Structure 1
Amino acid sequence: MSNQVILWSMLLTPFLTLFFMKKEDVKRYMPVGLFSAVTSAIIGDVGVTLGFWVHRETAYPLHSLMPFDIGLNLVLTMWVFIFTYRRFWMYMITNAILDIGFDFFLFQYYFPSRDIFNLVGISPFQSYLITLGHALVIYGYQMWQEGILVRSERTTFLGNLQPATKPLSRDQENKPDDE
């Protein structure tokens, strides 16, 4: 199988699984998936700039953007949140297991053997720490997002203020203005 087929399948195939998600879950977790994709792309660019890794091949015409950042990572983040959100330790354990697969298998063995991607200035363990930190940031973003979407029931420090004007008597309410 060619590298282009592998890369394009990592970009497009995960989106087919969205048909198995509830519409409400897609709406709820799409922002965190997009946030994860954008921050992964930024981390990838910073890693290339600092010499942590090298992209040998990407999906044409995407020049320096890895397809798993905007495909697999986006959708996988949504699925992880569907099953683990509001259970922080379950979320972190799930991410730790997935990140081991990415950092120690995909980035260390599979991609270099296909000459797609190489870790050069960083060890797989250091990459693992970066991805775990990224998972914490993503969880924090979703908590912030949920706080924005849920209307606060707090009362203000002013309490229940009433208007300062005195209500009109019934006689004054029914009088025409020109009298």
Structure 2
Amino acid sequence: MSNSFIMWSLTIVPWLSLFFMKKNEIKHWMPVATFAVVLTTIIGDIGIRLGFWATRESIYPFAQMLPYAFGIMPVLTIWVFKFTYERFWLYMVTNTILDIGFNFFLLNYFLSSRGIIDINISPFLSLPITLMHAVVIYGYQRWQDDVLLSTRNVAEYKCQPAAAKPFANLPKDEEND
């Protein structure tokens, strides 16, 4: 099996699992998945710059980023949030298990043994990075829910912009101006 096939599989195959999820659930969790991709891209770029890891083999158009950031990672984020959101400790236990598998098996064993990536950081040091990533995206989703709740309240009270409101009853002397 070629490295290119493995990397394309890491990118495309996970998205097929979303056919088993309801459309409104995907819509609800897609912002946090998108934020997770952006944050992973930033962390990945910083790690490359600091020499923590280096991509040796990539697929087009991902020159320096591993394709898992656009495949497995956002889809797993959606599934984990679907089943664990609003139960922070269950969320953290689930993420810890997934991050251990990611750091120890996927990065340090599988991808590095195939020559796809060079890891210059211990999995014991990269694990706290991925766990902080999980905490930050959980906080983002909590914030996102608070923002959406406040906009739902506005719609619930049928508030209108000032331009759509009728004029107030003006006194007689102001009507002639």
The reply to whether TM is greater than 0.5 is yes
The answer as to whether partners of 1:4 and 1:60 remain within 8 angstroms in 2 is: no
> Which residue number in structure 1 is paired with residue 44 of structure 2?
44
Aligned ranges for residues 20-169 of structure 1 at < 5 Å?
A: 20-120=20-120, 122-151=121-150
C-alpha deviation, 1:62, in angstroms: 1.6
Shift of 1:61: 2.9
In 1, the alpha carbon distance for the partners of 2:68 and 2:40 equals 9
**What TM-score, normalized to structure 2?**
0.84
Aligned residues: 159
- The more displaced of 61-70 and 139-148 is 61-70
CA distance, structure 2, for counterparts of residue 146 and residue 30 of structure 1: 12
Compared with structure 1, are the counterparts of its residues 166 and 27 closer, same or farther at alpha carbon in structure 2 (3 Å cutoff)? closer
Distance 2:118 2:94 in 1: 25
Quote the residue 1:159 is aligned against. none
TM-score by length of 1: 0.83
Q: Distance in 1 between matches of 2:118 and 2:97?
A: 21
Q: Going by fraction, where is helix more abundant, 1 or 2? A: 2
Q: Distance in 1 between matches of 2:35 and 2:137?
A: 7
The answer (yes or no) to whether the contact 1:103–1:128 under 8 Å persists in 2 is yes
Structure 1 residue 167, shift from structure 2 partner? 10
Taking only the aligned residue pairs, the percentage that are identical comes to: 53
Query: 4+ residue stretches of structure 1 with deviation over 2 A?
Result: 151-154, 165-168
**Cross-structure match for 1:10:** 10
Structure 1 residue matching 2:54: 3-state secondary structure = strand
